[in-house]
Amino acid sequence: MKFFFFFFFILYSILLIFIKNYYFHKKIKPFFLFLSIFIILIFSYSFFPTTFINMQIIKYY
């Protein structure tokens, strides 16, 4: 369980950083940014409800 939790934590962090950098450098539409984050949230929340709590911490990076 800890392995999967760690995996999703790292995966979400990498994707969030990638999306943020892509958004600021390429100037993509905000719709795609929010859509990507929404999909990641749903994905992670469906696997681990506790992951959703930790995402609030990641948002304040």
pTM: 0.36
Rg of the chain taking only CA atoms, in angstroms: 12
Q: What confidence score (pLDDT) does residue 6 get? A: 72
Contacts of 33 (CB under 8 A, 6+ apart): 19, 23
Angle separating helix axes 30-47 and 2-26, nearest 10 degrees = 180
Each residue's pLDDT tens digit, 13-44: 777 777 777 766 666 666 676 777 777 777 76
Q: What confidence score (pLDDT) does residue 41 get? A: 72
Each residue's pLDDT tens digit, 42-54: 776 666 556 555 6
